[in-house]
Amino acid sequence: MATGDGPRRVTIADVASHAKVSTTAVSKVIRNAYGVSPAMRERVSAAIAELGYRPHAAARAMRGRTYTIGLMLPHIRNPFFADILDGLMEQLADTDYQAILIQGGATRTTERRAVDALIDRQVDGIVMVGPLAPKTRLEEVARQTPTVVLGRHERSTVYDAVFDDDETGAELAVRHLIDLGHRHIVHITHQDDSVARPADLLHKIRSEAYERVMREHGLADEIAVATTYYTEEGGYQGALELLERSPCPTAIFAGADQAAFGALAAVHESGLSVPGDVSVVGYDNTRLAALPNISLTSIDQDGALMGRTSGRLLLERIEGRTSAVRFSVTPGLVQRRSTAPPPHSARAHASSGMDTANPPH
């Protein structure tokens, strides 16, 4: 190995000899453990400051805590996750804990590798955002390390769950479109290779709520779902596919803002206007949705609150709580200019279908 290691790292032993006390004493001070006199604390703290000592997290990992929380995100591109991270870091700010992120990717395999990496690095707690793994795997992880699962709905006794009421959120979106007078309402959902029970995955819940509400309003025949991905590219492809239907849909409910952005692009490229010809609703109410020239109607869920809560629950677990907690946030509709009543029956579309140019890359 080539690490031209500079001056040797300051260790607990250096601090101990400098302060003329034992390493045990130093360890107790830095951990705020029981059995240290104020004088001792003072003395050791001074030595620590003087030498610029920092505990070696990797060494701690062998014996005690690492003061590290691992956050597994499917992908960092989705700005909604930034809200979650902000919340988590806010919660951790006044503690000794550090958050590290790892990208889980789009498949169970890559996700597993990522979470294993977290476990191998001996993090004290794990937050998994929208994991694909089956419940058994989640519980296996949770038995090794305190875990919060964010975005899944199943009930477990070994991990805590934080989620949005996706059922209600999707219902708000579809109802909003129906109330505006739409009937040809289509949906873009997310494809995954998960083996989890569909009822526990947020995208399944959203898409099933879509179908349910449609049926409840006598629109069973209008149900059409494109199964692509909660990404721009996925939304773009899904919308292109759905816009070829006849009659052409007048409203698209995308399961995530990212997908809605792609859908907007597809609508525009098809020569149709939003919301003149097609209304679009997203989910997550990311900041981008509020930009005036996107102005996307979306379902708001409080990502920062979810992040803060995840952090809090993890700290509680680390401190010893063993009972499982479920925390649910309530979504709300934020109406913007991407939704409007459908065009009147006798309307003339610009020729649809033709210009399938380049996807936004």
Out of 180, 338, 342, 343, the residue judged to bind a copy of itself by CB under 8 A: 338
Stretch that binds DNA, among 27-35, 83-91, 100-108, 124-132 (CB under 7 A): 27-35
* Residue list 307-326, contact with a copy of itself (CB under 8 A): 317-322
The CA-atom distances, in angstroms, between 174 and each of 17, 289, 305 are: 68, 18, 25
Give the chain's end-to-end CA distance (angstroms, integer): 40
With binding defined as CB under 7 A, does residue 35 bind DNA?
yes
Stretch that binds DNA, among 37-45, 70-78, 166-174, 311-319 (CB under 7 A): 37-45
CB of 280 to DNA, least distance (A): 51
CB of 38 to a copy of itself, least distance (A): 26
Q: Rg (Cα) of the chain, in Å, rounded?
A: 25
Burial class (CB in 10 A: 0-12, 13-18, 19+), 138: buried
Evaluated on CA atoms 79, 84, 86, 87, the torsion sign reads positive
Cα gap 314→89, rounded to integer Å: 13
Strand-pair partners of 148? 127, 160
CB of 101 to DNA, least distance (A): 24
Residue 4, contacted partner among DNA, a copy of itself, none, CB below 5-8 A by kind: a copy of itself
Burial class (CB in 10 A: 0-12, 13-18, 19+), 190: buried
Out of 46, 49, 50, 64, the residue judged to bind DNA by CB under 7 A: 64
* Residue list 159-218, contact with a copy of itself (CB under 8 A): none
Residue 35, contacted partner among a copy of itself, DNA, none, CB below 5-8 A by kind: DNA
* Local structure of residue 343 (DSSP, 8 states): P
Cα gap 196→136, rounded to integer Å: 9
With binding defined as CB under 7 A, does residue 155 bind DNA?
no
Residue 6, contacted partner among a copy of itself, DNA, none, CB below 5-8 A by kind: a copy of itself
Count of Cβ atoms closer than 10 Å to residue 193 Cβ: 10
Query: What is the DSSP track for 89-150?
Result: HHHHTTSS-EEEEEE--SSHHHHHHHHHHHHHTT-SEEEEES--S-HHHHHHHHHHS-EEEE
* Residue list 125-154, contact with a copy of itself (CB under 8 A): 140, 143-146
Count of Cβ atoms closer than 10 Å to residue 136 Cβ: 10
* Local structure of residue 52 (DSSP, 8 states): T
CB of 109 to DNA, least distance (A): 22
* Residue list 2-61, contact with a copy of itself (CB under 8 A): 2-6, 54-59, 61
With binding defined as CB under 7 A, does residue 33 bind DNA?
yes
The CA-atom distances, in angstroms, between 317 and each of 96, 148, 153, 161, 251 are: 16, 10, 19, 12, 44
With binding defined as CB under 7 A, does residue 95 bind DNA?
no
Give how far the C-alpha of residue 194 lies from the chain's centroid of Cα atoms, to the nearest Å: 16
The CA-atom distances, in angstroms, between 11 and each of 15, 68, 174, 237 are: 7, 20, 60, 56
**Which is nearer to DNA, 20 or 155 (by Cβ)?**
20
With binding defined as CB under 8 A, does residue 293 bind a copy of itself?
yes
Residue 140, contacted partner among a copy of itself, DNA, none, CB below 5-8 A by kind: a copy of itself
Strand-pair partners of 334? 298
With binding defined as CB under 8 A, does residue 101 bind a copy of itself?
yes
With binding defined as CB under 8 A, does residue 94 bind a copy of itself?
no
With binding defined as CB under 8 A, does residue 102 bind a copy of itself?
yes
Out of 37, 322, 323, 351, the residue judged to bind DNA by CB under 7 A: 37
CB of 79 to a copy of itself, least distance (A): 6
With binding defined as CB under 8 A, does residue 273 bind a copy of itself?
yes
Residues in touch with DNA (CB under 7 A)? 1, 8-9, 11-13, 21-27, 30-31, 33-37, 39-40, 53, 55-56, 59-60, 62-65
